[in-house]
Amino acid sequence: MPDAVRIACCQLVPDIDHPVASAAQARAALADAIRAGAQIVVLPELCTSGYAFSSAAEARAVAEPASGPLLRSWAQEAAHTGAVVIGGFCELADDGRVFNSAALVDASGVRAVYRKLHLWDREPRWFSPGEDPAPVVPTRFGKIGIGVCYDIEFPELTRGLALGGAQLIALPANWPREPPPPGRPMPALQLLAQETASISRVYVAACDRGGSERGLAFQGASVIAAPDGAILSAAEPAMADSETTAQRLLADCDLTTALDKRTGQAGL
Amino acid sequence: MPDAVRIACCQLVPDIDHPVASAAQARAALADAIRAGAQIVVLPELCTSGYAFSSAAEARAVAEPASGPLLRSWAQEAAHTGAVVIGGFCELADDGRVFNSAALVDASGVRAVYRKLHLWDREPRWFSPGEDPAPVVPTRFGKIGIGVCYDIEFPELTRGLALGGAQLIALPANWPREPPPPGRPMPALQLLAQETASISRVYVAACDRGGSERGLAFQGASVIAAPDGAILSAAEPAMADSETTAQRLLADCDLTTALDKRTGQAGL
């Protein structure tokens, strides 16, 4: 695969009570992935702050501006090899609002910030909903669309990214653990990634988190899916009482295949 | 499941060279399914005419009007128990055009005719494309949306049916055989049915055909999927050189669950 780009999902286990350590863990995983040849690295949702806040004040206390040192540190890692990083962070906006955001960062700095549109469960207690559409960002490897976690349950959003030219949808996630129902072969996030990929003929790299936090267990179901619906790499998710851990997925992907939307033979 | 409705998919093997026999086969399978307690019966696409026409004239020669004896015979079978039938047929329109259509029929007669919007492969040689949106039809069992085969690759159509209130999407199909790529657990039609069901929280009953016709082998991958993405019943599809045969899927479904679009816990 001569034109392949190596995509990594760095599934992490942030510690909500130690955001500085969580940020260091994310940066180390990013650096490791780049050393392993990854050119596009996806990190989880809220990967430095943790997820299960107990108050809006707690979320605000760990929120940081997109122009701050966190994303600058990702850009510094990316600059070593010209990599592209997509990761979730707790964003403090200029106007004081707090968002559940994901940034796309490369050597030049912050290329895009997406503020999660579909807030799930308790998230509206801590976050303002985004007001702008999910972006498609041209990069040296191709066009990358960005969503966050629950967004993937809305085909309007993912189809919109594909219609906007996205060859890869990068999806930082914090997916709570739920066993798949009988008759369904895989956990929700992996099924949704597979179906999003196959329906719109794009790559999907969903980077989940593992572990649990204040009674909320996460699925740890990171996955990289191809435009034909093939699962290229998938974390073994938590199914019962086991806890998922940090791990890294890698897949070499020819993003040009996502430009070919034909199905079946050419018969006419 | 006290409010369950029994859904059947009658996977058939029509014979393009013997349309009268194919129609008899479809009617017999319909009658058998109703005797087995089915209240909603889905038949394949073009289930009486066959699929692999060699000319537009051949398709036209077997096309029949929606007001003709074919759909009347389905209504007669449905009338025995108050069942609902959705099946595909080669339609001769009043204006002389030929469509790849699906009808919804009950004891009162033809309730809806849907003319396939997304013609696949060589189909535009024989068929005019439909001009009206895919319908959602209120029935005594709930609202049923109709698509045909390749339509399921377009989430705009299936999402539209769900937004229109469909609790079940009935999809007559003639899906050509293609092995799933490595890493994908199921054939395309079953994956698409599962993902359509789970994304829009509806039931999907996709009734495929089996066998092969003039060198075109069919997948025989009929499937009934639930709103949580569970596969309730699935035909064992043809994977290599084997031919699939006629068979019937049954599943008892509580269509009211498709009205509940909530995911996750209620956390707010």
Q: Where are the domains of chain A?
A: 5-258
Cβ of B199 within 8 Å of Cβ of A264? The answer is no
Q: Residues B67, B68, B71, CA angle at the centre, nearest 5°?
A: 85
Check residue B183 and give its pLDDT.
Answer: 75
**Token pair of A228 as six digits:** 């034909």
Q: Select from A51, A214, A218, A228 the residue whose CB has the most chain B CBs within 10 Å, as the one to mutate to test that interface.
A: A228
Distance (Å) from the C-alpha of residue B230 to the closest C-alpha of chain A? Answer: 5
> Measured between CB atoms, does A215 come within 8 Å of chain B?
no
Band of pLDDT at residue B63, cut at 50, 70 and 90:
very high
Check residue A266 and give its pLDDT.
Answer: 44
Check residue B185 and give its pLDDT.
Answer: 73
Q: Among 3.40.1280.10, 3.40.50.720, 3.60.110.10, 2.60.120.560, name the CATH number for the domain at B5-258.
A: 3.60.110.10
Cβ of A199 within 8 Å of Cβ of B265? The answer is no
User: Do residues A54 and A12 lie in contact, with contact meaning Cβ atoms separated by under 8 Å?
Assistant: no
- Is B18 a residue whose pLDDT tops 50? yes
- Is B2 a residue whose pLDDT tops 70? no
Check residue A267 and give its pLDDT.
Answer: 41
A143 catalytically annotated: no
A47 catalytically annotated: no
Count contacts between A and B (CB, < 8 Å): 95
The tally of CA atoms less than 13 A away on the side-chain side of residue A182 is 2
Distance (Å) from the C-alpha of residue B62 to the closest C-alpha of chain A? Answer: 22
Check residue A240 and give its pLDDT.
Answer: 64
Alpha helices in B36-110 (DSSP H): 56-62, 69-79
Tell me the residues of chain B between 14 and 53 that have a Cβ less than 8 Å away from chain A.
Answer: none
Q: Select from B184, B223, B253, B265 the residue whose CB has the most chain A CBs within 10 Å, as the one to mutate to test that interface.
A: B184
Band of pLDDT at residue B109, cut at 50, 70 and 90:
very high
> What distance lies between CA B24 and its chain's CA centroid?
18
Q: What is the ipTM of this complex?
A: 0.84
> Measured between CB atoms, does A261 come within 8 Å of chain B?
no
The CA distance from A27 to A181, in Å, is 36
Q: Which of A159, A191, A267 sits opposite B198 (nearest CB)?
A: A191
Residues 6+ apart with CB under 8 A from A95: none
- Is B46 a residue whose pLDDT tops 50? yes
Q: Which of B182, B191, B264 sits opposite A198 (nearest CB)?
A: B191
SS3 (DSSP) at A148: coil
The CA distance from A117 to A73, in Å, is 26
User: Do residues A148 and A174 lie in contact, with contact meaning Cβ atoms separated by under 8 Å?
Assistant: no
Residues of A in contact with B261 (CB under 8 A): none
Distance (Å) from the C-alpha of residue A176 to the closest C-alpha of chain B? Answer: 9
| Residues forming a β-bridge with A3 | none
Distance (Å) from the C-alpha of residue B17 to the closest C-alpha of chain A? Answer: 22
pTM score: 0.91
The CA distance from B77 to B20, in Å, is 17
Sequential pLDDT tens for chain A (268 residues):
557 999 999 999 999 999 999 999 999 999 999 999 999 999 999 999 999 999 999 999 999 999 999 999 999 999 999 999 999 999 999 999 999 999 999 999 999 999 999 999 999 999 999 999 999 999 999 999 999 999 999 999 999 999 999 999 999 999 998 877 777 778 889 989 998 999 999 999 999 999 999 999 999 999 999 998 899 999 987 766 677 789 999 999 999 999 998 876 544 3
User: Do residues A67 and A97 lie in contact, with contact meaning Cβ atoms separated by under 8 Å?
Assistant: no
Q: Which of A149, A207, A213, A253 is catalytic?
A: A149
* Positions of B marked catalytic: 45, 116, 149
